[in-house]
Amino acid sequence: MKNIYVNERLKDNYNNYYKGESDWRWLGAIDKVNNIINLCNDYPHESILEIGSGEGSILKRLSDLQFGDALYSIEISKTAVETIYQRNIKSLIECNLFDGYNIPYEDKKFDLVILSHTVEHLEYPRKILYEAGRVANYVFVEVPLEDNIRLKKDFTFDKVGHINFYSPKTIRRLIQTCNLEIMFQIITNSSCRVYKYQYGKKGFIRYLVKELILRTIPSLATNLWTYNCSMICKKTITL
Q: How far apart are CA 54 and CA 172, in angstroms?
A: 24
DSSP for residue 54: T
- Asked whether residue 239 carries a pLDDT value surpassing 60, the answer given is no
CB 39 within 8 A of CB 186: yes
**Cα-atom radius of gyration of the chain, to the nearest Å?**
17
pLDDT digits (tens, 9 = 90+) for 36-72: 999 999 999 999 999 999 999 999 999 999 999 999 9
The answer to whether position 194 is within a domain reads no
The answer to whether position 82 is within a domain reads yes
Nearest to 100 by CA among 79, 132, 74: 74
Nearest to 234 by CA among 73, 53, 40, 100: 40
Domain of residue 105, residue span:
8-189+227-235
The answer to whether position 218 is within a domain reads no
- Residue 13 has a pLDDT of 74
The answer to whether position 202 is within a domain reads no
The reported pTM is 0.94
pLDDT digits (tens, 9 = 90+) for 130-175: 999 999 999 999 999 999 999 999 999 888 889 999 999 999 999 9
Total tally of structural domains belonging to the chain: 1
Query: What is each CA distance from 57 to 22, 53, 153, 177, in whole angstroms?
Result: 9, 8, 32, 30
- Residue 2 has a pLDDT of 56
